[in-house]
Amino acid sequence: MKKIQMVDLKSQYKKIQDEIDSAVLNVIRSTQYINGPEVKNFQKELENYLDVKHVIPCANGTDALQVAMMALDLQPGDEVITSNFTYVATAEVIALLKLKPVLVDVHPDTFDIDVDAIQRAITPKTKAIVPVHLFGQAANMEAILEVAKKHNLFVIEDTAQAIGCDYTFKDGSQQKVGTIGTIGCTSFFPSKNLGCFGDGGAIFTNDDDLAIKLRQIANHGQSKQYIHDKVGVNSRLDSIQAAILRIKLRELDNYSKERNKAADYYDTAFANHSKVKTPVRVSFSNHVFHQYTLQLIGVNRDEMRTFLSEKDVPAMIYYPIPLHLQEAYTDPRYKEGDFPVTEKLCATVISLPMQTELDSEQLKYITDSVLEYLNK
């Protein structure tokens, strides 16, 4: 049996090695390392895949969020609502820009932002909502858009974990996540569903005027060379990463299918077990399973993780500490106990290996190992 990994990038690379190696060498030989044709081609291909008017490639997912918020002209002290149960980057950018992160709880079943909690958190200073499509499934965007429209708020989608995911509206129409709100942002970190071989990110919008501002801000605030109309940053996707992403974009839907096969195997193995709750699939979204995350019931998680590690089965905790209990985000508004769902999830979730290269032998070994511990 192959070594089990949370993400097996080497095996994934081996399947497309000839294409990748050729594309990378072509960029090196061209010497067009920055803003070369590969970047422009990737931009157009991603626009077509997402069915969105504008893709602005950038250096990473955190930069994507930062550039998005800068383009909306948010001012210090403006409030931005986001999920408490997520990776720190979302709140980090809000705080970095001297905006005020307003954290809200999540749904206990889906882990996505609670729309009722959003409504309760809105004040006259609220300017934007940042829903995170966590672990590969969409937040309830139709409901979020209704709230945003009622209060005249921007919606910035964080799709770092859910690129390729489809959201279905009540009328049956579908859109890719990241193309629904005012702006969408994503990351191409290597372990993401669409990952490059270094750092990378992108911003999406259907707003023509906003796209101009986003491109300017990502390029030192330039409207044209040496003409700086805005304060900007230096954030771009390099040509080698774009060349790699062009190849992997063609595989993205197949990658999602492989992840779903693994998730289905896990679901079947753990069905109706009294000590675990498997991920809930909602009717308005498909799932691209960036992570497969169980909720444990009456189980010593640390002991279980040690047990699995001794059997060479990796498992991760996403996320062990809520944002409001992180030292960097300590705030007199929040105390332990204020976010019961998030705090419970941080104490009970565990994520199993989830990737495109898991085979049936590995999946059986993983599930047998988990069940061996649960049934002790």
136 shares a domain with 273: no
Residue 366 structural domain: 252-374
Domain boundary (246, 279, 302) is at 246
Query: Does residue 3 lie in a domain region?
Result: no
| pLDDT tens-digit map of 308-339 | 999 999 999 999 999 999 999 999 999 999 99
264 shares a domain with 236: no
∠ CA 72-75-81 to the nearest 5 degrees?
Answer: 75
131 shares a domain with 77: yes
276 shares a domain with 202: no
- What's residue 37's pLDDT? 98
128 shares a domain with 24: yes
- Which CATH number belongs to the domain containing residue 272 in this structure? 3.90.1150.10
Token representation of residue 271: 């069905």
- What's residue 104's pLDDT? 98
Characterise 246 by phi-psi region: left (phi > 0), alpha (psi -120 to 50), beta (else). alpha
| pLDDT tens-digit map of 17-49 | 999 999 999 999 999 999 999 999 999 999 999
Distance of CA 47 to the CA centre of its chain: 18
Query: Does residue 142 lie in a domain region?
Result: yes
170 shares a domain with 125: yes
224 shares a domain with 172: yes
Query: Does residue 227 lie in a domain region?
Result: yes
Q: 153: how many CB neighbours lie within 10 A of its CB?
A: 22
Query: Does residue 4 lie in a domain region?
Result: no
Q: Return d(Cα 203, Cα 327) in angstroms, integer.
A: 29
Instruction: Tell me how far CA of residue 193 lies from CA of 55, 254, 289, 290, 354, in angstroms.
Output: 18, 11, 8, 6, 10
73 shares a domain with 139: yes
- What 3-state DSSP class applies to 349? strand
- What's residue 376's pLDDT? 87
Domain boundary (223, 246, 269) is at 246
Alpha-carbon Rg of the chain, whole angstroms?
21
Query: Which burial class, exposed, middle or buried, applies to 315 when counting CB atoms under 10 A from its CB (0-12, 13-18, 19+)?
Result: buried
Residues of the chain with pLDDT under 50: none
256 shares a domain with 242: no
Query: Does residue 2 lie in a domain region?
Result: no
Query: Does residue 205 lie in a domain region?
Result: yes
Q: Return d(Cα 268, Cα 135) in angstroms, integer.
A: 19
| pTM greater than the 0.75 cutoff | yes
Question: How many domains, the chain?
Answer: 2
242 shares a domain with 305: no
- What's residue 9's pLDDT? 97
β-strands 349-352, 292-296 pairing: antiparallel
Distance of CA 239 to the CA centre of its chain: 23
Please name the residue that has the structure tokens 């950038």. Answer: 58
Omega of the bond leading into 319 within 30 degrees of 0 (cis):
yes
Measured on CA atoms in the order 68, 70, 71, 76, is the torsion positive or negative? positive
| pLDDT tens-digit map of 348-369 | 999 999 999 999 999 999 999 9
Domain boundary (227, 246, 265) is at 246
Q: Residues near 151 by Cβ (< 8 Å), separated by ≥ 6? A: 122, 126
- Which CATH number belongs to the domain containing residue 47 in this structure? 3.40.640.10
Query: Which burial class, exposed, middle or buried, applies to 248 when counting CB atoms under 10 A from its CB (0-12, 13-18, 19+)?
Result: buried
73 shares a domain with 120: yes
266 shares a domain with 353: yes
Query: Does residue 1 lie in a domain region?
Result: no
Query: Does residue 329 lie in a domain region?
Result: yes
